[in-house]
Chain A
Amino acid sequence: MQVPGMTIVFYLIAVITVAGALAAMLLRNTVHCALALTVAFAGLAVQFLELDAQFAGFAQILVYIGAVAILVVFAILLTRGSETPKQGVFSRTWLAGLVIAAMVFAVLGWAVLNSTSALPSETAKPSVNVLEIGNALMGRYVLPLEIVAVLLTSALIGAVIVARHEKGSAK
């Protein structure tokens, strides 16, 4: 299916992204999974840049590769998660999970492929600079911005309280 206006870069990065996601979900060693997850995040960041959303692409790199991937590696190393369990890495009900995921993908793919006329297809390249994004964040989107600030603060405090080492409670 050759698509007009769709570059070879899209296919290349899409293959790398999907391979990273598959490796993150299939590999036995948990640390390798975290590294494959970083590849998938980087591929998605490049896709954001391809879509002319530079700010979102760099936010993706900063937040996901810079923070979330590091947090995942920390959690794996703090919990001995890198040891492969004897009874395998997949749960007993893996077949049901796989069937559910395949059905969800079938429905999504069917909906996307059968809605060619309903989907918007503007070809004009949007020119958005960081100044406009900053103005929008401080103007129209100032209330969501403040709510996200409160959410991040409470999540930070909550994560510290939850993960804090309490004396006498740990076995």
Chain B
Amino acid sequence: MGPITPLQGYLLLAAVIFAVGLAGALTRRNAILVLIGIELMLNAANLNLIAFWRYGPHPEALTGMMFAIFSIAVAAAEAAVGLGLVIHIYRFTQTTDLDQMNRMKG
């Protein structure tokens, strides 16, 4: 295993951010912080897409960059709907603690 290439550096950084986001999404109690963890994982995936686009064979085709831009747009929609759901659940239960959200009845 020789020295790592620049692409591997970016992939490792994305892996670290993904693992941090996953750990947060799995361990935090607050629903908003779980959403933050999901956003971090999406961002790590975007970094992978951009890094592969930069060091891939055909950057002029713009494939990875376009994928990342559409991914950013979809993540924004996901954040808006997710936070709206959290606020709506909070109105009924007066909590954002996921350990206390243990019933589906409104």
A126 close to B54 (CB less than 8 A): yes
**With A85-B29, A91-B98 in contact, do A152 and B77 touch (Cβ < 8 Å)?**
yes
Instruction: Encode contact with A along B65-106: 1 for CB under 8 Å, 0 otherwise.
Output: 110111011111111110111111011101011110000000
How many inter-chain residue pairs (CB < 8 Å) link A and B?
A: 272
A101 close to B19 (CB less than 8 A): yes
Count B interface residues, CB 8 Å: 79
A8 interfacial contact with B, CB 8 Å = no
Measured CB to CB, the nearest residue on chain B to A21 is B20
Q: Which of A63-83 contact B (CB under 8 A)?
A: 63-64, 67-68, 71-72, 74-76, 78-79, 81
Q: How far is the CB of A61 from chain B (nearest CB, A)?
A: 11
Count A interface residues, CB 8 Å: 92
B4 close to A113 (CB less than 8 A): yes
Q: How far is the CB of B86 from chain A (nearest CB, A)?
A: 6
**Cα distance A36–B28 in the bound complex, in angstroms:** 15
A98 close to B59 (CB less than 8 A): no
Describe B's contact surface by its main secondary structure: helix
B2 close to A105 (CB less than 8 A): no
A162 close to B85 (CB less than 8 A): yes
Q: How far is the CB of B46 from chain A (nearest CB, A)?
A: 7
Describe A's contact surface by its main secondary structure: helix
Q: Which of B13-43 contact A (CB under 8 A)?
A: 13, 15-30, 32-33, 35-37, 39-40, 43
Q: Which of A1-46 contact B (CB under 8 A)?
A: 1-6, 10, 14, 17-18, 21-22, 24-25, 30, 33-34, 37, 40-41, 44
**Cα distance A111–B30 in the bound complex, in angstroms:** 32
A162 close to B54 (CB less than 8 A): no
Known A-B contacts: A33-B36, A108-B11. Give 13 more (CB < 8 A): A18-B16, A25-B37, A41-B43, A48-B46, A53-B50, A67-B79, A71-B80, A113-B1, A113-B8, A126-B59, A133-B62, A136-B66, A151-B74
- Listed in ascending order, the chain B residues whose CB lies under 8 Å from chain A are 1-13, 15-30, 32-33, 35-37, 39-40, 43, 46-47, 50-57, 59-60, 62, 65-66, 68-70, 72-81, 83-88, 90-92, 94, 96-99
